[in-house]
Structure 1
Amino acid sequence: MSIQMETQDYNCMFLGMTPTQIVCNETSERLCTSSDCIRAASYLLESMDFRIDPCEDFYEFTCGNWAKYHTRLDSVTRWSWYDIITKRVEHAIRAFLKSKPAAYESKVIGHCRTMYESCMKLNTSDDQMESGRRRAKELLKEYCFPYIHKEDRNCTFDWKATLEKVYTFLGQLTFRSVNIYSPGIQKKVQHYIDFLQPYETIAIDNPNGLQSFIWWMVIDNLIGSIRFNYNIYYRNISINQSNQCAQLVNDRMGMFLGEVIAMPIFLNETKPKLLNSFEEIRSAFNELVENSDWMDQPTKRAVIEKSQAMKVNIGFAEFLLNKTKVDEYLKDFNFTNSSFLVNEHMIAMGHLQFPFYGLGIEALNYGVAISTLGHEFVHGFGKVKDGWTNQTENEYRNRANCFLEQYKNFDISEIDQAINGTVNGTRTLDENIADTVGLLLAYKAYKIFIKKHGEEEILPAFQTFTPEQLFFIGYGNSYCASATPEELMRSNANDEHSLEKFRVNGVVSNLEEFRATFKCKANSKMVSKNPCRIW
């Protein structure tokens, strides 16, 4: 099968039963024929449903055919671009950990290999299972967590003192923004308790409070040493130990494994470009603040001062390039015992790859990767509004409440008729604001880029689309996913993010920039009757 797309200046077609290869007869200097452009165009053509009006359902327009060409296995409850890249990174890390060490490898990479080899020696015997339980219990008792033998209630739990001990013991403990009262967190705590005390030797005091949260955080670190057994015990599933151990090393040592995939092109080209994009984000944000009509001057000064002070680590922290500092950081950790107690870090750099970056044209890169930079930039201001006047903070709350009311009316049955309910506008509020403002900042940053560098080349087979339209298409496509009804319900009940469809449609419906770009009519579904906007 071949489908031909023609305009006055271009003649392009994609070949095969699926649109995985594009052939273009170049008749214009502005047509991008690089491998990155051709690959990006192919993937977009696979995902998009051109029968859908983008002004009526932008998510279906960008992702309507995604599941058809990206099959979710029955054993997988959710499948998305993020999951695909995560698996790609995990496979690369596993292959590296199984490979023969190179002579020039750093000491920390040697530690990663040691941890992997130690994990591979674990087995599912009853002795190993009981050993893992016993070690966790000993540690919890030593640090006076709400684990108490029934015959021993001499421990007094002091959460401040405990956190100090935990920090000393683990070396580092990162507390994320987690709703400790969510059913998902409580269920996970209970799963770990069930695993650790099959014979009712553990008592939990105040299970819904701060103690429960700290308990969960520490067990989540400790469980690395017995996760292989835990999965088999609780989930009753058959797993590949090599995959599980590679994932464990990635969870605990991911920040250091960035060295494995840090190619020279990333250090010399990609990272400097992303740092420039971050400065464009900052500039766009500062301009929005300066032009806002609801913030008074003292608050504007405080916000811009904080904006100017913000920094970003792209890919990995710079100190990781200093092997002396890394060795000092890790000098007290034991990589051969069964604890594996290095705190987990995401390999952000592992996700700065196709289809989130390297998409041929900057319109797509800004719509995907740079909108993520914008999202995180917004999060950098947190919930505490330092230096804000009461009047401005009250106005911010009013504007934020618009998002709460908007999202709580999104019906999740739009995704799958087998489920029902609405988005929790309160729990997802911060993420919804960051999504919207982040995409707006990326759009304005792209305009700054174009002003500096001029118009871009045109994506093959998408010559009828403007760069601005491709910017939004890139954003929408990055959230393509498929999931079981049960997984959709679970995510909607527990996740601090909205479901993917609403992370796309909810955001674009608030942006005048989207409406103008696609020339949507005022009564279109993707044009909110009461658009929410902070800046």
Structure 2
Amino acid sequence: MSSELFEVVREDPSTPLFQRESANLNSGKKLLTRSRILIIVAFILSVTVVLTVILAVSISSNEDEGNDCTIQGACNSKVLAYIDTRFDPCEDFFNYSCGKWLSANPLGDRNQVKVFTELAFDNWNHLIGYLSRSISSSDPEAIKKSKYFFSACTDTAYIEQNIQDHLIRFLTAAGGWHDVGIFPADEWDFDNLTNDHYVGSPAYFAFGISSDDLNSSKPMIKIQQSGLTSSSDAYEDEESLLNLTNTISGSLQLLLGNDSLENYDEIARGIVYYEKSLAQFWLTKTELRNYTLLYNPMTLRELTEHFPMDWVNYFNTYFSKAGFSGDFTEDSVVIVKTVDYIESLNSTVTSDAVNYAKWQLLRNELNHFAFALEDSSWDIFCKKKDPRSSKFGDSDKSACAEVVQDSMPLAVARPYVEEFITRNMINTVNETTVQIEKAFVERVMEKDWLDQTTKEQCLEKVNAITERFAYPEFIKVDKELDEFYDKLTIHKESNAFDVVAAVRYFKIQQKLSFYNKPTDKTWWLVAPTEVNAYYYPPFNQFVILAGIMQPPFFTATWPPFLLYGAIGTVIGHELSHGFDDGGQQFDKNGDRVKWWTDASIRQFQNRTQCFVDQYDQYNLLGVEINGELTLGENIADNGGVHTAYHAYKNVTNGKRVRKYGGHTEDQLFFVSFAQLYCSKFTVDSLEESTKTDEHSPGPIRVLGSLVNNEEFTEAFQCSKGSKMYPSDDWCELW
């Protein structure tokens, strides 16, 4: 597989990234006589006077009328169309920027509406079109497999007709389930977890393979908590426990019939209370952001002391089943991310422990097919309300497009990027990135709270960042794309159950292939068609995905105030992640080591606490924001806007300011930023998301970033004491 991806090009590796070149002004000159000089000077002065008058009239016309929407597609961006001038930008900038978008995008029967998700739905529609096309002889094998996958997934009649038989066969092959009458039922103990995990069970714990925090070039096995039916806080009150019990009991009735209703209730109650015992030691989402807490290397011998299971046999058997040689011994080292949870596991095999393990097998397998099942008894596996229901006539197809994207991201990206992504678009994002990085470094060098040693370390990290844009180049080469999916076995005759098994095996193959070899830092972690971008600290790399390279995030022909207000703030956001409360712990090589001075670290921690305190004060629809959980994203939002504005001013230096629809370019910079986060929610969806989502809700992302932005208050001439300019006590890092 080719490792060539899109990177910012440095023409000469020995040249500093941000070195400025001076123009060569030494051209041939002719001596002029004194008279000629006077004549020329007089002529120039007369022309200058005329041009000055014309220019003054032009500027006056633009500022007074405010209707110049023809320049570089300024109005085609729809940025003006969504502004609602009924709102005062200094009091409610979110509704000022998004008001008409919100009116045009009602909630309907959905629990939330966001720019991100609306674009994701549109992208899924494109994928549906690609995946629904007839197979062509010219299609690469990988594309054919994706179409077979989609066809099997959308055959919901087959799934509904055969799901019960499939699940019983699946559980029988996995050792049966004595208490619900699926025989033959093998005696279960913790040694069975190898087989259970291999066929997808999340019970008790899970493991992945990723870079060692202290040595990013070395992949390590990392073990963590896993296997609750609901979120950990659902086990804290009796009403939630009763709802979970009824759902599990109802699912068993649907699967096996109504003959043993009382028995199912008893089994379900035992499962729920067993899970409650696990949930007591569950780390919260905020705690899972603590790299120090999660880094616990130990040998398998030491791990056995925490939980007495044959870990050597577990890993050797798991690797062997997939055709790999793990060669694990008691001295093999793994990282345990959730030590207290692993220690809490009870090695005593009770009937509740067995039923819990079997239920998790069933739950995970059923979850793959829940979208196709209409019976309300399966509702626990489906979203409370399908957010696609108002937007799609056939939500099954959209669900399947998403599933195929998640399972074969590079195959489905191929037709998408061929249709929508051009080299000019990639070059524009590349050039914007260079300017964003230049501005970031300039801002770092201006920070008086950083000492010189730390500033130089930050500059080295920025210079070492790898940037990738849109998609990996190899997916446009048939042979290389086919080789990537060579071990994924999907045929025209494959049904949905065959496909799920094939994808499960393929993903296991991918996961285990990373072990015992240097970290592959060219690996794309997110599907190119996702409406997203990301920064990954162990790679010191950020990626701007193809799916986000569309309005309102990006158009290559936009003028700088829109380009930098939209995609520029996204790039600045990802760059700032390299220096947020998590990224700051990783050096230029992606290793979590101490690379700042103590003095700079203390200053940094004081300033990050300012953000925690700021966002802790916010609430939306009465739902409080968790400033600690959202800290990294809030730092990135703030840093992204500051850096992008700085870059925008750099590239427009010396150019006069026009007005568009009565708005200045500076004002529209901030409007284009805010419109990325246009969104509305139900209270229930907010309560759920604020527990688990590391991003603040859209209105808070806009408010929290701009109350810390002096350039914003100047652009809109906000008075101190207004909601958007409460005081001069800014929270600021980058």
On the 8 A contact 1:361/1:457 being kept in 2, the answer is no
Q: Which residue pairs with 1:259 in the alignment?
A: 414
In structure 1, what is the Cα distance between the partners aligned to 2:646 and 2:175? 50
Distance 1:243 1:125, change over 3 A: same
Q: Deviations over 1:199-219 (max 9, x none)?
A: 549775734264999x99999
Gaps of 5+ in 1: 1-5, 14-23, 25-29, 142-148, 414-419
Q: Which residue pairs with 2:648 in the alignment?
A: 446
Distance 1:164 1:90, change over 3 A: closer
Residue in structure 2 matching 1:333, options 488, 510, 513: 488
Distance 1:69 1:125, change over 3 A: closer
- Answer yes or no: is 1:429 the counterpart of 2:627: no
- Answer yes or no: is 1:409 the counterpart of 2:629: no
Distance 1:9 1:448, change over 3 A: closer
Code of the residue aligned with 2:371 in structure 1: it is F
Q: Which residue pairs with 1:20 in the alignment?
A: none
Q: 1:399, CA displacement in angstroms?
A: 0.3
Q: 1:81-480, aligned counterparts within 5 Å? A: 81-122=115-156, 123-125=158-160, 127-129=162-164, 131-132=166-167, 135=170, 151-155=187-191, 163=207, 184=231, 194=248, 198=252, 200=267, 206-207=278-279, 208=282, 210=338, 225-229=368-372, 233-234=378-379, 235=382, 240-263=395-418, 266-335=421-490, 336=494, 337-339=498-500, 340-341=503-504, 345=527, 347=529, 348-358=545-555, 360-381=558-579, 382-383=582-583, 384-385=585-586, 386=593, 387-413=595-621, 420-451=622-653, 455=655, 462-480=660-678
In structure 1, what is the Cα distance between the partners aligned to 2:723 and 2:596? 35
In structure 2, what is the Cα distance between the partners aligned to 1:265 and 1:284? 29
Residue in structure 1 matching 2:101, options 66, 75, 81: 66
Distance 1:166 1:533, change over 3 A: closer
Which moved further from structure 2: 315-324 or 94-103? 315-324
On the 8 A contact 1:179/1:185 being kept in 2, the answer is no
In structure 1, what is the Cα distance between the partners aligned to 2:175 and 2:724? 52
In structure 1, what is the Cα distance between the partners aligned to 2:685 and 2:228? 19
Q: 1:39, CA displacement in angstroms?
A: 2.8
Code of the residue aligned with 1:79 in structure 2: it is V
Distance 1:395 1:450, change over 3 A: same
In structure 2, what is the Cα distance between the partners aligned to 1:457 and 1:284? 21
Q: 1:268, CA displacement in angstroms?
A: 1.7
On the 8 A contact 2:429/2:469 being kept in 1, the answer is yes
On the 8 A contact 1:46/1:69 being kept in 2, the answer is no
Code of the residue aligned with 2:562 in structure 1: it is L
In structure 1, what is the Cα distance between the partners aligned to 2:250 and 2:136? 40
Distance 1:524 1:124, change over 3 A: same
Code of the residue aligned with 2:188 in structure 1: it is D
Quote the RMSD (CA, aligned, Å): 4.3
On the 8 A contact 2:573/2:637 being kept in 1, the answer is yes
On the 8 A contact 2:611/2:627 being kept in 1, the answer is yes
Q: 1:369, CA displacement in angstroms?
A: 1.5
Q: 1:444, CA displacement in angstroms?
A: 1.5
Residue in structure 2 matching 1:38, options 63, 75, 80: 75
On the 8 A contact 2:82/2:101 being kept in 1, the answer is yes
On the 8 A contact 2:432/2:568 being kept in 1, the answer is yes
Code of the residue aligned with 1:32 in structure 2: it is T
Residue in structure 1 matching 2:720, options 519, 522, 526: 522
Q: Deviations over 1:351-401 (max 9, x none)?
A: 211222127333112111221111111223434244112221121111000
On the 8 A contact 1:225/1:338 being kept in 2, the answer is no
Q: 1:424, CA displacement in angstroms?
A: 0.9
Q: 1:464, CA displacement in angstroms?
A: 2.8
Report the 3-state secondary structure (helix = DSSP H, G, I; strand = E; otherwise coil) of the residue aligned with 1:372.
helix
On the 8 A contact 1:320/1:326 being kept in 2, the answer is yes
Code of the residue aligned with 1:412 in structure 2: it is L
Code of the residue aligned with 1:357 in structure 2: it is F
Code of the residue aligned with 1:401 in structure 2: it is Q
Q: 1:423, CA displacement in angstroms?
A: 1.2
In structure 2, what is the Cα distance between the partners aligned to 1:308 and 1:137? 56
Q: 1:105, CA displacement in angstroms?
A: 3.2
Q: Which residue pairs with 2:346 in the alignment?
A: none
Distance 1:449 1:421, change over 3 A: same
In structure 2, what is the Cα distance between the partners aligned to 1:523 and 1:154? 62
On the 8 A contact 1:251/1:346 being kept in 2, the answer is no
Residue in structure 1 matching 2:703, options 501, 505, 508: 505
In structure 1, what is the Cα distance between the partners aligned to 2:489 and 2:627? 44
Q: Deviations over 1:29-65 (max 9, x none)?
A: x75256x43332xx33442221222122211211123
On the 8 A contact 1:133/1:196 being kept in 2, the answer is no
Q: 1:486, CA displacement in angstroms?
A: 2.1
- Answer yes or no: is 1:8 the counterpart of 2:61: yes
Q: Deviations over 1:177-231 (max 9, x none)?
A: 999999857769x989949973549775734264999x99999996674243468
On the 8 A contact 1:32/1:458 being kept in 2, the answer is no
Code of the residue aligned with 1:38 in structure 2: it is C
Which moved further from structure 2: 434-443 or 222-231? 222-231
In structure 1, what is the Cα distance between the partners aligned to 2:620 and 2:600? 34
Gaps of 5+ in 2: 1-58, 177-184, 198-203, 212-218, 236-240, 253-263, 284-337, 343-356, 508-525, 530-544, 587-592
Q: Deviations over 1:441-476 (max 9, x none)?
A: 11112123224xx748957xx243221111101011
In structure 1, what is the Cα distance between the partners aligned to 2:89 and 2:160? 56
Question: Which one has a bigger Cα radius of gyration?
Answer: 2
Distance 1:183 1:443, change over 3 A: farther
What is the TM-score with the length of structure 1 in the denominator?
0.77
In structure 1, what is the Cα distance between the partners aligned to 2:116 and 2:646? 25
On the 8 A contact 1:180/1:186 being kept in 2, the answer is no
Q: Deviations over 1:409-435 (max 9, x none)?
A: 11323xxxxxx2421111111111110
